[in-house]
Amino acid sequence: MTQSQKFAVVLLSGGLDSMVAAAQAREAGYGLFALTVDYNQRHRIELEAAARIATALGAARHVVLPLDLSAFGGSALTADIAVPKGGVAAEGIPITYVPARNTIFLSLALGWAEAAGARDLFIGVNALDYSGYPDCRPEFVEAFEAMAARATKAGVEGDRFVVHTPLMEMTKADIAAEAARLGLDAGMSWSCYDPTTDGRHCGLCDSCRLRAKGFAEAGLADPTVYAARP
């Protein structure tokens, strides 16, 4: 790490996408400030994955920030609502949507970045093989950047905060292939919304299905242990 190294705040959920986005930030020369939010998610096992990944990528700092979004309710990921397992994507935005989650997470990343003198944020959202969440789309990210320019001291003083979304136009197969190209052990990451009690991916939720499909379409071995074949 050189004195002139630039740092980026990277949102690191512990999933495959955020692992690849973080590794891309590192490849681009950024030191990593990794931010994981413990939002009382049903799939808390992803927090362990985030810690493994932060260590493996040599993050300069890893903050796991407790923030109990279940106080607000309204999502299958935080409230007592069943995670859909049907496999046929429902119309519209699914019940696993957490209201304003990426807005909240990027706002926290923005606060850390400004405090630490960083101007770059990375988030592993993608608008192709995604689950239909509004806060994974380019128009959301652009609106967030515009807001950040007006919200911050650094923005008012003429600096620009950039939200990097290197996976935005990638399919899950592209992401699986990119993980392989970067030499990442995809088995370190966690995708499942509804883990089994013995710590396996369920294999049936939307997130498991997308993950398995990505490895299959990329022609790569899937290191994931699924309780049921997706």
* Positions that interact with a second copy (CB under 8 A): 63, 65-69, 71-75, 93, 97-104, 107-108, 110-116, 134-135, 137, 139-140, 143-144, 146-153, 155-157
Q: Which is nearer to a second copy, 152 or 196 (CB)?
A: 152
Q: Which is nearer to a second copy, 103 or 196 (CB)?
A: 103
Structure tokens at 38: 């413990």
Q: What is the largest CA-CA distance in the chain?
A: 54
Q: Which is nearer to a second copy, 97 or 215 (CB)?
A: 97
Q: How far apart are CA 124 and CA 146, in angstroms?
A: 19
Smallest distance, a second copy to C-beta of residue 153, A:
5
Tell me: is residue 60 an annotated ligand-binding position.
Answer: no
Q: Which is nearer to a second copy, 140 or 215 (CB)?
A: 140
Torsion 23-137-84-88 (CA) sign: negative
Tell me: is residue 136 an annotated ligand-binding position.
Answer: no
Tell me: is residue 184 an annotated ligand-binding position.
Answer: no
CA 182, chain centre distance (Å): 17
Q: Which is nearer to a second copy, 56 or 63 (CB)?
A: 63
DSSP character for 201?
Answer: B
> Within a 13 Å sphere around the CA of 196, how many CA atoms are in the beta-carbon half?
12
32, containing H or E segment: strand 31-38
Tell me: is residue 17 an annotated ligand-binding position.
Answer: yes
Tell me: is residue 22 an annotated ligand-binding position.
Answer: yes
| Cα angle for residues 6, 176, 164 (degrees, 5° grid) | 30
Smallest distance, a second copy to C-beta of residue 66, A:
7
Tell me: is residue 192 an annotated ligand-binding position.
Answer: yes
Smallest distance, a second copy to C-beta of residue 149, A:
8
Smallest distance, a second copy to C-beta of residue 104, A:
4
> Within a 13 Å sphere around the CA of 140, how many CA atoms are in the beta-carbon half?
19
Q: How far apart are CA 9 and CA 14, in angstroms?
A: 15
Smallest distance, a second copy to C-beta of residue 124, A:
17
Smallest distance, a second copy to C-beta of residue 135, A:
5
Let me know if 77 is exposed, middle or buried by CB neighbors in 10 A (0-12, 13-18, 19+): buried
Let me know if 1 is exposed, middle or buried by CB neighbors in 10 A (0-12, 13-18, 19+): exposed
Tell me: is residue 219 an annotated ligand-binding position.
Answer: no
Which residues does the annotation place in the binding site for Zn(2+)?
Answer: 192, 202, 205, 208
Which residues does the annotation place in the binding site for ATP?
Answer: 12-22
Which residues does the annotation place in the binding site?
Answer: 12-22, 192, 202, 205, 208
